[in-house]
Structure formats: C-alpha cells, structure tokens
Structure 1
Amino acid sequence: MEAFFETLLQDLRYALRTLRREPGFATFAILIIALGIGASSTVFSVLNTLLIQPLPFKDPASLVWIANRTVQEGDLSGETVQVGRLMDLRARNRSFSDIAGYFAFYGVGDSKLTGNGEPERLSAVPVSQNFFPLLGVQPQLGRLFSAEECKFNGPHTVLLSHGLWARRFASDPAIVGKAITLDDTPATVVGVLPASFDFASVFAPGTHIDLFSPFPLTQETDRWGNTLALVGRIKPGVSIEQAQAEATVLGDQISKEHPHQNWLHPKLIFLAQHVSGRLRPALLILASSVAVVMLIVCANLSNLLLARTATRQKEMAIRAAMGAGQQRLIRQLLTESIVLTCYGAVLGLALAMAATRGMGHLTAFNIPLLSSVRVNPGALAFTVVAAVLTGLALGMAPALQVSAIPLHGALVERGSSESRVQVWMRGVLVVAEIAFACVLLVGAGLLVRSFLRVLEVQMGFRPESAATIRIDPSDRLYPTQARKNAYYDEALRRVKAIPEVQAAGLTDTLPLGHNRAWGSPAKGQVYKDADFPTSFVRVVSDGYIKALGMSLRKGRDFTPRDTPATAPVIVINEALAERLWPGQDPIGHFIQGDCAPFRQVIGVVGNVRHIALEKESGSEMYIPIRQCQDYGSVDLVVRSSLPLAVLQSNVENALRPIAPELPKGAMRPLVQLVDRAVSPRRFIVLLLSGFAAFALILASLGIYGVISYSVNRRTQEIGIRMALGASALQVQWSIVIRTLALATGGMIGGAVTSLALARWLNGLLFGVSYGDPMTFAGAAAILLGVAVLAGYLPSRRASRIDPMIALRIS
C-alpha cells in the first residue's frame, strides 16, 4: 500500500510538471472545465432548492395549499376562499390540525410609511392569527399577534420583516412596542420576524413583503368575497387523498347551506408542489441541458487530450522501455486529467457561488425561492462527484489510445500519419459534440420562438408609453367616501392637464396581477349552479380604458357624470357579452351584481389577458369607481410619450398639493407587469440559450481542433499531393469536405435525437410545435455555418503549404 501511494505521488508531481510546461493547454482546459462544472453546480443548486430541499417551515411535508375551484370555466379557476367558508371548514373538518389564511389581495406598495424619514410605499400582508404558528415561524424579537389584536377593528399592530427592520430602523432592538405611522394611522410594532422567513419567495415570488398585520376572522368579515389564500396542516396519519375526500364533501355541504354566498370547492395539493411544481418540467429540462453541456465539455477536452497524447507517443515509449507498464502509463494519463478537473472544479465552484448569490438579487424574475439558492453541502458533494466523473471521462480516451498503440514501435516510427483508430476516435468525438450542440440549439430555438410568440399575443391593452403609480388618499385628509371621490376627481384633472399626457385613469386591479371574481348573471335569467356566470371585476374611473390602451368595441366609456346619484352602469368585455347574450347587442341590458342591485351595460371592450399572457381572457366587468366603494388600493394609470423620469416628476409635482405624503419614485412602467408575467419563461430561455451558445462555441473549437491537428499531421502527405499536381483549391476542398462530413453526421444524429427529446418540451411551448421545421432548419444552418468557418481556416493554411518544405519534414 505504501508503494502504491508513493507511485501515486510521483504521478501527481509528474502531472503538475507536465501541465506547467504547457500553460496554454492547461489554462484553456481548466477554464472549459470550470465553466461546465460551474454551470452544473449552479443548476443543481437551483434544482436542489426548488425541488429537493423541503420548504423552510416546520414539518413542511404535512403542509397543503387549499385552492378553491369556484367556477367551472377553466380560465376563472380561483385560489381564494371567503372568510365564512374558511371558518366553516375549520370548525367541521377532522383531517387538519389547523388551517390558516392570508389576505390574497394585498397590493405591492399598498401601505404608506410616514413620520420616519421620507415617505415610503411598503407591501403589507394581513394574516390570520394562526398563520405563523401553523408554519412554525417564531419572531426574532417580540411576539406574534394576540387574539385581541385579531378582532374586527382591534388594536393596530404590525410585525416587521427582518429586511425592513434592518433597512428602515437600523436593526433597533428597542423597536418592539414603539408606534409607526402607516396610512396616517399609528400601528404598534409587536415583533420582528427572523431573516430566515421570506414570505415573498414562497407565496409571492418576484416581490418583497415588508410587514404583516392581523386579519380578523370574525362575523363582520364573514361575508367578504373570496379574499383569503389558505394553507393547512394535515394531521399525522392522514393522507392528502383522505383530506381531499373530506374537504370535497364538506365543500359541497357548506355551498348548499349558503347558496347565495360564494361557493367552496376545495382542491388540495402539497404546499411544496404549489410553490414550485409548475417549474418542475422546466427545471428538469435545464438539468438535462447542463448534462449535455458537460458531455460536450468532455468530448471537446478528450479530443484535445487525444491530440496531446499522440504527440507524446515517443515519451510514453521511452517510459515503457525504462520499465513503466501499460497500467502505470494509463494511470499517469488519468492522474493528469483528474488534476486538470480538480483545478477546474475549484474555479467552477467559485463561479457557482457567485452565480447563486447573484440570483438572490434577481427580483425581476418571478421564480419562487430564488433568493434562497446557495451552494450548500449537497451542491458541494455534487461538485466533487461531477469533478471525479469528468476527470475519469477525460482520461478514458487517451488511456484507450495508449493501450491500443504499440509503444515500442513508436521509438522507431518516423511517419507522421495517424492510425485509423486515432482518426476514428477523434471523428466520433467531434460528431458527438455537434450532435449534442444540435440538441441544445433546437431546444433553445423552440423556447425562444415560444417566448416571442407569447410576447406577440393580443394582450388587450398596450403597455408601451404607459406608467402607473399608487395614489391612495390619506384617511386623515379625506375621511369620507365623498371626499375620496373629490380627491380622485382632482387627481385626474391635475394629471390630465400635464402636457404630453394623452390619458389617465384609476383602477383597483392592474392586469396580470391579483384577480377577484363576482357573480355576473343577466337580469331575469335563472342558471344552474354549474352554469352560473362569474366574472373578474375591476373598479375603474373614466379614462382608464384609454389610458390602458384597451379597445372600446361598442357603446361608451364612463364619464364624470356616472356618480352615486345617477343610474348604476357597467362596461363588460366581449367574452362576458357573448356568455350572457350570444349573438345579441348587450348595450342596454342589465347585470345583477354587487354595489347595486342591477347595472345597465353601457359599453363593451376588448378582452384583456388578466391571468397570464398564455391564457385566453375570461369574462370581465368594469364598474365606475364613483358608484362602488368595494375596492382596496387605487392605481393611477397614465399614458404619455414623456420619458418615465420626466413623467414621474411631473405627476408627483401635480399631485403634491393634494397628496403631500405621496412617496417619491413610486411610478413604474406598465411594461414591468408584462416582464414579471413572462419572467419564469425568460429565466429558462436565457439559461438554455446560454448553454446552447456555450455548446456551439465548444463544437466549433472541436471542429477547428480536429481539422487543424489533421492538417499538421498530414503536412508531408499534402506536400506530396501538391508536388504531384494537386492544386491549392483541391487541397482546400478535400479538407472542407471532411469538415462537412463530420458536421453532417453530427447534425443528422442531433436532429434525430432532438426530434425524439423535443416532446419533453411540449408543456413549455406556446404557439410552436416540438417538430417546428423553422427551428430545426435554423439550428442546422447555424451549425453548418460554424462548421464551414471552423474548417475553412485550417484548409486555407493547408492550401498554402510549400511542397518543397513539406517534403523535407521527417
């Protein structure tokens, strides 16, 4: 054993000396390995955090998400539950140890912090008293909400997130018990949550949440609409199937007992599946892609090592003549490969750590748990295993080459031609590189084309040249609804007076955000439960339709004359018009709804994609803000050709006299809503496109390396051919033809493999089939162009060989 370790140490020292003599080769190989292993470790860390590791809560395996499938129309399947239905479900079930909820219709920046420096918009989430205990979250400072604080109109209290506590209050440990001013109302800080609890990364990816307030589950809130998102904990020994069966029965019973209130049709899935289950196919695709990248890395470097070993045949023969057995020579080559891989793995691990830390700041991507992605011990173990396997894979080809060559013959070999085995091995590796690159190019091409198709859909509104800002009035300055309406009127008047502003309007719900649904039956019609019409509701002002860039198909928009003193009116979209009055003109008909017994239809607008760009629009209705008080926060939408910074300054200056506590810098472009909606798709597209580009570069280097090496080895042969009459063009064409043969073989293999594997992408594609001929043709054209360019440079060098000089080469 001692002798074994001694020879191993000798091999290691010799490998280091050998690599130091070839710094260019060593540097290139280490960088390629580092990029491959870095990408692999990064993707594994993402996969590990989102799909493998448990959620950062107590006993996460027993946590379930309780969705409420309230209607039959697939595009309006909801998630939220009415307060009264939650209370009924909690009281009657036997499958759950507890069920908690949070108010799902909180708005980003819907709370205003004043009295402590500059006014600031904060995001606050109202939660039930048992929400944090159910998740097993304990405050870092202070306590959780008490029963008294969770009563209707109870004491105003808040829990601060760790981020807000550190950023705005300088991590003051004495903050507990102090009052802060939120929306002109003092609120007592009762606690600070730990840094390990990140509500947004689990329940609202792509946003950040600053604080939490108590939500009352009381008789006063019993009849509120479907506003609560529910999380439950299943009792030990109860399966999710058993809990689902009981919840289904209870939901039907409760819905029949309250026929005139919101229905309850619970659908249970594990919380972990709700959080990241929709990303599972995409993440597995990424994992497969990075595995393909590593195969390309191994094929590329194996080719380099084959060429390097061929130039060292005499060295190997001398060592064999001095007593080194074939196993020792093979072990030496494997040691050199593993040394290279270890250096590359260390650098790759550093790249992965930097990449995962950077992901924590990518709030523009709507990806759950992204801020929690780190290179943890599991990722470290993966990196070590990947490094060892890569080292062995890289050393395998040179080892096979050495074992297949009679080394003693190399001492007297004077020719420079390659054996058929060497030529075949190097050609196979290049063909494999091209095939793998083709697979990644096709996959990336399909996803890119799908992404572009998503952006091309008719959204029903025009986000360009529009921006939005939250303008909730101060309760201190505008205590009554009449005063609030006057504030909105004045705000619209002031903003519309700004030069270059084409339109402005108010809404309680922006597209591609939170949604709520109300019943929308036509007056005089009777519906079965399964056919009862339900629509998304928007409370808006006059000017909103134009400001958002919607299309008014029939009738008229709201006007300032649509007030509480005038007849209740409503604007509906084409989908609802066709749903209620197919083939008829809906103008003048009446809809039964909230805020008023009946509303007369005065206009029809085009359909807006409010859920996702990939999903068709559902039924929608728009109610004038002056005739309905059932709304929370209000956003002002402004359409203007002015740059965002200029528009923001002008709007803030216009509103400051009537809203002195309006926070600065709160305006955001409307395109941001679209960007956030497509961010998961963009995240996958960017990563896969990056892998495909990396694969293409490696494939081109592989082709160039093989052809260039072949030209160098065949210099004498080429010189003889040219001396016998072959023209430079003929020599050049012979080399280009070999290049095209390799490329064609790789493209055929890659196309067949891509067609077989592309079916896996079906769930991620939109408007493009997995066999899209344009994508396959584009991938083939790119690979062919790269192959021709990679082969042209060596062929050009070969055509300039001087036959006399070549013939003198020994």
Structure 2
Amino acid sequence: MDPIVSDTRRLPALDSILQDLRYTFRTLRRDSGFTTFAVLIVGLGIGASATVFSVVDALLLRPLPFHEPERLVWIANHDTSGLSGQTTQVGHLLDLREHNQSFSDIAGYFAFYGVGDNLLSGQGEPERLSGVPVSENFFQLLGVKPQLGRLFTSEECKWHGPKAVLLSHGLWTRRFGADPGIVGGTLAINDEPVTVAGVLPASFDLASVFAPGSHFDLYFPFPLSNETNRWGNTMAIVGRLKPGVTIGSAQAELRILAGQITRAHPERNDFEGKLTPLAEHVSGRIRPALLVLACAVGVVMLIVCANLSNLLLARTATRQKEIAIRTALGAGRRRLIRQMLTEGVALSCCGAALGVILSAGGTRILARLEAVSIPLLGNVRTDATVLAFCLVAAVLTGVVFGLAPALQVPANALHDVLKDTTRGSTAGKSRNWIRGTLVVSEIAFACVLLVSAGLLVRSFLRVLEVNLGFRPEHTATIRVDPDASYATQAQQNAYFDDLLRRVRDIPGMEAAGLTDALPLGRNRSWGAPAKGQVYPPGKFPVAFVRVVSDGYLKAMGIPLIAGRDISERDTPSAEPAIVINQTLARTLWPGQNAIGQMMRACGERRVVGVVGDVRHLALEQGSGMEMYLPMRQCRDISSVDLVVRASLPPAELALSVRVALKPIAPNLPGKDFRTLQQLVDKAVSPRRFVVLLLGGFALFALLLASLGIYGVVSYGVNQRTQEIGIRMALGASASRLQASILAQTLGLAAIGMLMGAVASGVLARALGGLLFGVTATDPLTFLGMPVVLALVAAAAGYLPARRASRIDPSIALRAN
C-alpha cells in the first residue's frame, strides 16, 4: 500500500480521537461539580490501591535487595519455635560448607544479638547501637560491597583477632556527618577501641530483611571456631545454590548430610536441616495478610467503578437531547459510545494523577513506620512499577465505569428523546434497572469488606485481651550492661547489687529487677531434663531460659504460684537454684509437686519456685516451657536490662533512674528508656497494620455504597416527580411516601446484603490463618454487618425520601 495513502487514512481517525478529547474536556469543564466529585472518588480509590500495591510489590513481587536473590536459601535447624529452632551450631555450618555439592557458599550471622548491645561513647552523647556479628564470607555471599573501605580480613575473623567494625550507611551519615575520614580510625565501643574497616552502601539494610521493626548500625566479624561452637545453636545460616540446582535436590542432599553430621558428632545438638527460599522465609508470615489486602484493593476498585457508573448513567440521562442532536447531525452510535468511553478514561486518568500524589505520600509514611515489624517495609516507594499500576488501573477503571452509560446510548430513540418522552420509556426503565443492579453490587462488595475487616478487628481485640503472663502497665526498662571494668563474676554481682540498691531508693519505686532477655524479644532455649529421667528420641524437654535477679518477677508482675522467688541468697556459693513455669513443672513432674525436685540446666539445680506462664514469643502463641536462673549464679552476662515498676510518669522515671545510676553508669544513654507497653505494641504492630488498612478500605467502601444509594434514590425521585405529584394530589401522605421510598431502598440493600453474606461466608474461610480467638463464621460479625449496612442504607435514602415528601403537587404536574 502506498504510505501516503496509509497516512491519509490514519489522519481522520487521529483527528476524530482528538475531537473526542477536546469535546470531553470541554464538557467536563462545564460540569465542574460532577468532574470534581468523580476525580476525587477515583483518586482516593487508586491512591489507596496504589499504596497497598507498593507494599505488595516491595514484599512479594520485587526481588530481595541482594545479588541473584533467587539462589539464596534459608537453612534452618528444625521447625520448633524460638531462635534455637531456627539456628544451629558453628560446627554444623562448617561441615555443611565443606561436604555439600549443592551450594556455592554458605554463610551465617550470630542470631542472638541484642538490640542496643553496643555502647558507643567518646564522641558526643553516648548511644546504644544494635550490631550483628557475621561470618567472614557473609557479605560476599549476599553480593554486598562496601561503599568505603573494605570488608573483614581473615585475621579479624579469628578468635581474639583484631577488633574491627563495619558501619551502616545510616549511622555513618547520622552520627559522623558522612565523613570519609572515619574509615581506618577507631571508635570506643563498649569501652574498647575498635577499628572502622568500612562503610556499607545505603541500599544494604539487613535488619529490614531479617529483623523487621529494628535496625542494625554495626557489623562485627564472628569467628567460626571451637570456642563459638560451644555456645550451642547460635548461627542463622544463609546459603547460595549453585547455578541449576533446585530447592528440591538441595533439600534432599541437606537431609542426608544432616543425618551424617548428627551421627558423626553426638556431642553436638541435633541438626535436621530445613531449606526454604530466602524470599519465602522473609515474607512468608505476612504473605496471607498481603494477599487479603490485594483482594481488598480489587473489591474497592469494583465499588469505585459501580459508583461512577451510576454517576455517569445519571449524567447521560440529562444529556439525552444533546446525544440525540449529535445523532441527527450524523454521529454514529459507535462514535457516541467511543465518546462515552473517552470521558470515562479521561476522568479516571485525572483521578489517577491525584492517586499518584496520595500514594506517594502514603508510601513515604509507611516507609518511616519503624515500629511496625513488617519485613522490607522501609523499601516501600512509589516507583515506575507503581506508576504503571496506576496507569493500568486508570484505563481499566475508565473503561469499566464508562461501559454502562456507553451501552445506554440510544440507537433508534431519536424521536422520543427530542420529544422528552424517555422518562417512562423502555430505555429509562433499563437505566433504572442497571442503576439498581450497580447499587446492589456495591452493597454486596461493601458487605464482603465489612465482614473481613470485622473478623480481623475482632481477632485483634482478642489478641489484646490475652493474658500476657506479666503486667506491662507502669513498667519500663533500660539497658544497664556492665562495662569492661567488671571482669569477674564477683565484680559483676557487686555492680548488680549496687545498681538495684540505688534504683530501689528512688521515691515511688515499687519494684526493680534485672534480666538478660525481655519478653517478646530474643529467645534462647536449653535442654531442661529432670534429674534421673531418660527421654525417648524427640521427647527431650527444651525450655526457654531467662537469667534474672531478685525483684525481676515482682517488677514484671509475673505471679508466683508455689515456692519462693529468686532472692539475694542465690549466690555462687549457695546451692544452684532455678524457678520454672507451670507448663515445665507439669511436663517434668505430672501430678507431683515440683518444689524441691532436681533438674539439669547449666548443671544440676533445685527447683525453688513455680511461676505463671508468660507469652515470651508472641501474643498469639502459648508460653511453652520456661525457666529462670539466678543472675548471681551465672557468669559473663554481657546483656542486662533493668526492669522497674513505679508510680512515676515515664519521663520523670527515666530522669530519676539516670540520676540515680550516674555514679556507676555515667554513659547511660537517655534515649534507651522504653515502657513494656511499647514492646507489646511493637509485637502486635503487623496485625494492627493489616487491620487499619483493611478497616480503612471497608469504611471507604461503606462511604461509596452510601453515596451510590443516595444517588440512585435521588435519581428515582427526580424521574418519578410527576407520579409523586399525582399520588399526593390524590391524598397520599408525606409519611407514606417516605416509607414507600425507604422500603424500596432497603429492598435493594437487602438483596446486596444477602449476596454479600453468601460471598463473605465463602471468602472468610481464606482468612482462617489470620484469625485469633474467633471463627470464620463469627456470629457477632455476621449479625452486625446487616445492621450497619441497613442503617447506612436508611440514612442514605432518607434525604431523597424526605425531599420527595415535600414536593408541591401543582408544581410537579405543571412541570410535566
């Protein structure tokens, strides 16, 4: 074909599209109220949807921020709860690295790091920083190179090797003003000089992947040696598969190697070896909640489409003469349909522009929610992928909500339209039927969201109602680690005694104690067998362990069930003592009195007390078996938290503690003071995050449904003005008219609620993994939903019904 002829044929089509666009923007400008409302609705819908999509993209769709992340796997010990179930010994890591055929490399990090374990002093205000020790090859395995300086040397990764540290980019810029001269210098960390080897890039954020809700400031070399092997299950292991190796084949080899290693080293802890893709390990727990939110996004957008379809139908009804005139002037039905779709897409694209702005603000807020323990949340952003999502959503939304009015463009009704007889015509009845159907669908969709949100809200409230085993109110904590000058156990015990005496002398102080690990934080477990008992394979008792001082149980509000509390008498020279919880007591000595019994935990110990169970892992999980060792009978305690219960306000309490401890802890950071309620809030933050987002969607859907009902009833009243006038002229009362219109409104709502209840009953089962303390058929939620929707429908229909009852019959009859 001649290219000139081809271009000539294309020009009219392009010119026609441009005419449609000019006409669209001219009509939308003329009807500014409708345009503003429509753009606002679409903008809110797409903005909320894009924000959730950005979270889904960051956590589920986008690859992990490491080199070739699809080849990275998490190698866990076994499936039990607690870090000790996920971690393994150094010896196991070294054997796996040496004998496997599936991995190009295996590395690890010390999983029992503590938040704020490292005290930085000597340069400005003392500050507690979180640091994680890593193996020599850890950064190479992940494909991370330092922005400045170098990685750790082999000498630095040996037992008692030269002390070195890598700084996070955030700490480097915040504390040291991005000074490149810091590399090669020394810092005073825990009162010891440490050489700064380098600075890691800003793109590397290990905490967002492995410890969401916290951050790592420092990275230390961890020696893979016989000394660290004796520490037990402390290493979290990450492996990189060789090219072409599948997860299945690697797992099969790992299972064989685990058996061989366990048989070859009976002196070590058992090792089973469970392989999981690293991406699945990171986002696996939050994946169901994100999928629920993604479905909620789709439902909200369907409601937006239904709502705007109703608006466009009403607008099309007022433009019937305009459409008829354009038809008379030669515009074909296809051209008119294209014009309607163009208007829909133009409206949705304008709304999408607003949505992008709202989404950008929303993602910035989400990225700064450090207290929310959701992995990779800091990576949430409005990028090209999110912009593409907004564009696709805008086009699809515009086509969908523009379709209903486009299909209502009259084909052969020109004569009737020009005579204004469509009010009672088949076309008018068809529009009323479509509008009613759209409202029913809105109510059904809103019902699904309300039920889902209701179930999750009820679950969240049940989580908050659980018995924690301790009382977080009026209780606070601060790190008080002994410094390097307290080298011996006697010196540490003297420090602990002096510290507790000073704190207990503060006016308003009710109780104070020390612990090496707080609830809802890091957990470690030890074997906890009763003396003289032999246990079959797989039945060996393992319990979470806490090293605590006298006063800790009272400060935490943990009830003493039998026996006595840990006391000042539990010194190194006294008989080794232990306090256990009810679950461990029942497990070791069912039906017997546990007080006075002997068990093996860091040597033989006598049970002197039994306390209530504490939910140390999570609010949704049971306590398991727990034991408390006297702090004065343990050595080398490097991580110590002071727990205080007082009647003072938190700010005054923090100041009083700092003043009281200044003579023995002059470098105590002022920002480390936390209430136990903050720890509880952080533990429930992922569930709260999902509840707030889904609840917001449900309320938005309810608002749209009410607007849809209001629009349909108002339109129906306008269409029936003459009929209402006649009925009132014949004696119909205003109250009867209102009741009639409200009955029709509630009829539509009832159909929508029935459909929504059926859909909710099916979809609620998908929420099973997210529910706690309620069932997927929770009666209160399913009975409360129709009440809420009925009230909303009645409120939305009342104003048009009230307006209809005030119509003047004479004016209504003359107008028609």
- Bin of the TM-score, shorter chain as denominator length: over 0.9
Partner of 1:302: 309
Spell out, residue by residue over 1:5-39, the C-alpha distance to the aligned partner (whole angstroms, 9 max, x if none). Answer: 11111111111111111111101100110111112
Q: Tell me the distance in 2 between the aligned counterparts of 1:613 and 1:300.
A: 40
Match of 1:422, as an amino acid? R
Partner of 2:240: 233
Displacement of 1:229 after TM fit? Answer: 0.7
Q: Tell me the distance in 1 between the aligned counterparts of 2:663 and 2:424.
A: 87
Partner of 1:474: 483
Q: Tell me the distance in 1 between the aligned counterparts of 2:520 and 2:606.
A: 27
2:295 maps to 1:288: yes
Bigger CA drift: 163-172 or 225-234?
225-234
Q: Tell me the distance in 1 between the aligned counterparts of 2:640 and 2:81.
A: 28
2:567 maps to 1:545: no
2:381 maps to 1:374: yes
2:436 maps to 1:436: no
Spell out, residue by residue over 1:359-399, the C-alpha distance to the aligned partner (whole angstroms, 9 max, x if none). Answer: 11001111101111122222222211111111111210111
Partner of 1:691: 697
Partner of 1:190: 197
Q: 1:204 aligns with which of 207, 211, 228?
A: 211
Q: 2:568 aligns with which of 539, 549, 560?
A: 560
Spell out, residue by residue over 1:232-278, the C-alpha distance to the aligned partner (whole angstroms, 9 max, x if none). Answer: 11122322222222222222222233334322111110100000012
2:581 maps to 1:573: yes
Where do residues 370-449 of structure 1 align in structure 2 (5 Å cutoff)?
370-403=377-410, 406-414=413-421, 416-417=423-424, 419-449=428-458
User: Is the contact between residue 84 and residue 525 of structure 2 (CA under 8 Å) also seen in structure 1?
Assistant: no
Q: 1:490 aligns with which of 486, 498, 502?
A: 498
User: Is the contact between residue 440 and residue 751 of structure 2 (CA under 8 Å) also seen in structure 1?
Assistant: yes
2:810 maps to 1:800: no
Match of 2:71, as an amino acid? S
Match of 1:420, as an amino acid? K
Distance change >3 Å, CA 415–CA 398, structure 1 → 2: closer
Q: Tell me the distance in 2 between the aligned counterparts of 1:152 and 1:269.
A: 31
Q: Tell me the distance in 2 between the aligned counterparts of 1:641 and 1:260.
A: 50
Displacement of 1:84 after TM fit? Answer: 2.0
User: Is the contact between residue 162 and residue 193 of structure 1 (CA under 8 Å) also seen in structure 2?
Assistant: yes
2:609 maps to 1:600: no
Q: Tell me the distance in 2 between the aligned counterparts of 1:404 and 1:724.
A: 38
2:45 maps to 1:36: yes
2:615 maps to 1:618: no
Partner of 1:632: 638
Q: Tell me the distance in 2 between the aligned counterparts of 1:344 and 1:505.
A: 57
Partner of 1:676: 682
Q: Tell me the distance in 2 between the aligned counterparts of 1:256 and 1:544.
A: 41
Partner of 1:321: 328
Spell out, residue by residue over 1:600-632, the C-alpha distance to the aligned partner (whole angstroms, 9 max, x if none). Answer: 000001111111111111111100000012543
Q: 1:588 aligns with which of 574, 592, 596?
A: 596
Q: TM-score, normalised by structure 1?
A: 0.98
Displacement of 1:405 after TM fit? Answer: 6.8
User: Is the contact between residue 82 and residue 523 of structure 2 (CA under 8 Å) also seen in structure 1?
Assistant: no
Partner of 2:7: none
Q: Tell me the distance in 2 between the aligned counterparts of 1:708 and 1:8.
A: 34
Distance change >3 Å, CA 404–CA 729, structure 1 → 2: farther
User: Is the contact between residue 69 and residue 79 of structure 1 (CA under 8 Å) also seen in structure 2?
Assistant: yes
Q: Give me the identity figure in percent.
A: 64
Displacement of 1:415 after TM fit? Answer: 6.5
Q: Tell me the distance in 2 between the aligned counterparts of 1:315 and 1:488.
A: 87
Match of 1:11, as an amino acid? D
Q: Tell me the distance in 2 between the aligned counterparts of 1:341 and 1:116.
A: 55
Q: Secondary structure at the match of 1:603?
A: strand
Match of 1:153, as an amino acid? H
Partner of 1:255: 262
Partner of 2:3: none
Q: Tell me the distance in 1 between the aligned counterparts of 2:56 and 2:530.
A: 49
Spell out, residue by residue over 1:546-595, the C-alpha distance to the aligned partner (whole angstroms, 9 max, x if none). Answer: 1111111100001111100111000001111111100100000011121x
Displacement of 1:445 after TM fit? Answer: 0.2
Q: Tell me the distance in 2 between the aligned counterparts of 1:703 and 1:137.
A: 56
Q: Tell me the distance in 2 between the aligned counterparts of 1:373 and 1:684.
A: 15
Q: Secondary structure at the match of 1:78?
A: helix
Where do residues 86-235 of structure 1 align in structure 2 (5 Å cutoff)?
86-235=93-242
Q: Tell me the distance in 1 between the aligned counterparts of 2:637 and 2:76.
A: 23
Match of 1:771, as an amino acid? T
Displacement of 1:712 after TM fit? Answer: 1.8
The number of equivalent residue pairs is 805
Q: 2:542 aligns with which of 534, 552, 571?
A: 534
Q: Tell me the distance in 2 between the aligned counterparts of 1:803 and 1:707.
A: 19
Match of 2:37, as an amino acid? F
Match of 1:678, as an amino acid? V
2:507 maps to 1:502: no
Q: Secondary structure at the match of 1:505?
A: strand
Partner of 2:356: 349
Q: Secondary structure at the match of 1:220?
A: helix
Match of 2:471, as an amino acid? R
Partner of 2:464: 455
Unaligned runs of 5+ in 1: none
Q: TM-score, normalised by structure 2?
A: 0.97
User: Is the contact between residue 556 and residue 603 of structure 1 (CA under 8 Å) also seen in structure 2?
Assistant: yes
Distance change >3 Å, CA 200–CA 615, structure 1 → 2: same
Q: Tell me the distance in 1 between the aligned counterparts of 2:376 and 2:83.
A: 26
Match of 1:721, as an amino acid? R
Distance change >3 Å, CA 696–CA 404, structure 1 → 2: farther
Q: Tell me the distance in 1 between the aligned counterparts of 2:582 and 2:500.
A: 27
2:670 maps to 1:664: yes
User: Is the contact between residue 444 and residue 756 of structure 2 (CA under 8 Å) also seen in structure 1?
Assistant: yes
Q: Secondary structure at the match of 2:286?
A: helix
Partner of 2:11: 2
Q: Tell me the distance in 1 between the aligned counterparts of 2:646 and 2:321.
A: 76
Q: Secondary structure at the match of 1:523?
A: coil
Displacement of 1:647 after TM fit? Answer: 0.9
Displacement of 1:498 after TM fit? Answer: 1.3
Bigger CA drift: 139-148 or 380-389?
380-389
2:27 maps to 1:18: yes
Q: Tell me the distance in 1 between the aligned counterparts of 2:652 and 2:454.
A: 39
Q: Secondary structure at the match of 2:507?
A: coil
Q: Secondary structure at the match of 2:196?
A: strand
Q: Tell me the distance in 1 between the aligned counterparts of 2:241 and 2:18.
A: 57
Partner of 1:55: 64
Match of 1:479, as an amino acid? A
Bigger CA drift: 159-168 or 46-55?
46-55
Bigger CA drift: 320-329 or 423-432?
320-329
Aligned Cα root-mean-square deviation (Å): 1.4
Spell out, residue by residue over 1:480-538, the C-alpha distance to the aligned partner (whole angstroms, 9 max, x if none). Answer: 22111111111111111112221111111111111111111111111223111111110
Q: Tell me the distance in 1 between the aligned counterparts of 2:617 and 2:188.
A: 34
User: Is the contact between residue 84 and residue 524 of structure 2 (CA under 8 Å) also seen in structure 1?
Assistant: no
Q: Tell me the distance in 1 between the aligned counterparts of 2:545 and 2:192.
A: 29
Q: Tell me the distance in 1 between the aligned counterparts of 2:687 and 2:529.
A: 36
Match of 1:298, as an amino acid? C
Spell out, residue by residue over 1:627-670, the C-alpha distance to the aligned partner (whole angstroms, 9 max, x if none). Answer: 01254311011112221111111111111111011111210010
Q: Tell me the distance in 2 between the aligned counterparts of 1:181 and 1:74.
A: 36
Partner of 2:278: 271
Q: Secondary structure at the match of 1:518?
A: strand
